[in-house]
Amino acid sequence: MKKILFIKPNEHYLYKNIKKCGYTIKTPYIFNYLILRIIREVVFRLHLPLAQLLYNKEINIKAEIIVIFDSLITYSFLKWVRKNNPQSRIILFYENPVIATINPCYIDDDICEKYSCDPSDCLMYNLKYIYPFYFEHLKIEKMKSIIDVLYVGSDKGRANKLFKLKSLFENQGVGVELYIVADRKYQRFYKKFYRPYLTYDEIREKNKSCRAILHIKEGGQCGITVRVFESLFNEIKLITNNEKLREYPFYRENNIFILGKDPIELLPLFLKKPYESIDDELIKKYSFDNWLEKLLLD
C-alpha cells in the first residue's frame, strides 16, 4: 500500500472510521475549540495573511497520495498543501454538493485532481465521478421495530417539509419520529424543536429499531448519501424524495419508496412487505476499501 494521507475535519464520522481502518488522517487546521474556530473563520473570510499560521503543520509528511475531503477547505489551503508536497498525487473529493462548498472552477488543475460523488455536479463542473462509500464495520444488528419511520439529521431548511410529511404519514397510520438538529451547534437553541446533537454511534443505535429511514435530499443533490447507505448496508427500508435512486443497481421497489412518485396510500403496504435482499457483491462495491482501490487505480 502506498503511503496515503487523508485530510478531513474530525467532527464527522468519516474521520474516526478512516483512522479505525488503519490510515493516517489529519485535520486541515488547528484550533478546534469553538472560540478559536470563530477566530479561524474570521481570518479565512477576510483573507488575512495569518491564515497559514492556522494550517495543520502535521500535514507535511510527504505522503505519496493525499486525499482531501472538501468540507471547510479553501483555495489557499490547497495551494499550501501542493507547495509543501510537490511530488504527491493530491485528490480533492467532493462528498458535499458543490453549491455548499469550494467552487472547483477556482482550483487550477495543477493543484489537485477533483472528484465528486454527485453525477450532476460532475457534469456541471467537469469533475471526475466516483461513487461514495460506507464502512462495512458499521453494520448494525437489527432489533424489534418500535417506530415505523425515522428521520435523524440537520435542519438545512427542511424542517417545514419534514413536519408536513410527518402529518401526511400519520394520516396513513404510519408512525414517525423526527430528530432534527440545528445546522450549527451554536444554533441549537434557536428553535424549540431542535434536539441535542448525536454521535454517529448514537444514530446507529436509533436505526436499530426503525422500519424505514426517511431521507430528504438537499436542493438538486442526486448522489448517494449516508442515509442511503444506512438503508442498503443494514437492510432497512428507505423513504426518499431522490427519484434518481431508481437509476442505481441496488434499487428495488420493495426497499425504496420514492416520494412524489409512489402513491402515498401505498406507504403502509410498503412498510409491511419484507426487505428484498441485495447481492453482497453489489453492496461491497460501496465499501470504503473498494472505493479507495478504485480511486487509486483511476
pLDDT (tens digit per residue) in 57-85: 888 777 899 999 998 898 989 999 999 99
DSSP secondary structure letter of residue 72: T
Within the chain, strands assigned E span 4-7, 24-26, 65-69, 89-94, 113-116, 128-129, 147-154, 176-181, 210-215, 237-240, 256-258
Q: Which residues of the chain have pLDDT under 70?
A: 1-2, 31-51, 219-221
pTM of the model: 0.87
| Cβ atoms within 10 Å, residue 61 | 14
**Which pLDDT belongs to residue 1?**
44
- Report the run of H or E that residue 20 belongs to, with start and end: helix 13-20
CA distance 242 to 223: 9
Set of cell numbers at residue 268? 403502509
